């Protein structure tokens, strides 16, 4: 875990990462699952007028033992980070009067190209260990990193997902 934490903060440039700029925040989170270790750092910008939250940049470091196919693994991690951003910020099933309003894909918000931050993936190859799964682990750190960044930017601690499907409202 220490290795992925160090790789994530180094890849992000953590030194001086705390922003004095109003409405900006940086957050860090880590986790492990199925033999893999992941750490993510996210920087967000919160628009004070609208409450919109944008992930400006993110770094995810991942270690899952020996890397067999680096390009495939990088793509897997990038996809997991984007999917994790969707759950953190947008994806929800909407109801009204007992009916599902998001009953088709056009009404279910997922991350779009314009939502994607500058994304950096750092892979830690451990040829001394057998490869472990890379399918689930990379998703676990991005949402809490975004939540911590929102807290750093606003002082508001959000505890359910999606955190800001309609923008950040006063008091969360």
Residues labelled as active-site residues: 136
CB of 121 closer than 8 Å to CB of 62: yes
Q: Among 57, 44, 41, 134, which Cα is nearest to 89's? A: 44
- Token match 């984007």: residue? 82
b/e per residue 76-112 (b: at least 16 CB within 10 A): bbbebbbbbbbbbbbbbeeeeeeeeeeeeeeebbebe
CB of 160 closer than 8 Å to CB of 87: no
Q: Among 9, 5, 82, 67, which Cα is nearest to 37's? A: 5
Q: Among 48, 52, 64, 119, which Cα is nearest to 90's? A: 52
């Amino acid at each position: 875990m220490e290795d992925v934490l160090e790789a994530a903060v180094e890849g992000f440039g953590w030194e001086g990462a705390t922003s004095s700029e109003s409405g900006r925040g940086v957050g860090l989170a880590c986790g492990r699952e199925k033999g893999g270790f992941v750490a993510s750092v996210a920087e967000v910008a919160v628009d004070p007028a609208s409450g919109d939250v944008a992930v400006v940049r993110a770094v995810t470091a991942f270690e899952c033992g020996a890397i067999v196919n680096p390009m495939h693994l990088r793509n897997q991690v990038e996809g997991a980070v984007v999917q994790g951003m969707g759950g953190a910020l947008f994806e929800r099933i909407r109801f009204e009067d007992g009916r599902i309003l998001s009953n088709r894909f056009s009404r279910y918000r997922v991350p779009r190209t314009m939502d994607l931050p500058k994304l950096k993936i750092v892979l830690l190859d451990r040829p001394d260990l057998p490869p472990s799964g890379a399918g689930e682990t990379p998703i676990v750190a991005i949402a809490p990193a975004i939540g911590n960044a929102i807290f750093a930017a606003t002082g508001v601690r959000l505890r359910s997902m999606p955190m800001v499907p309609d923008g950040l409202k006063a008091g969360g």
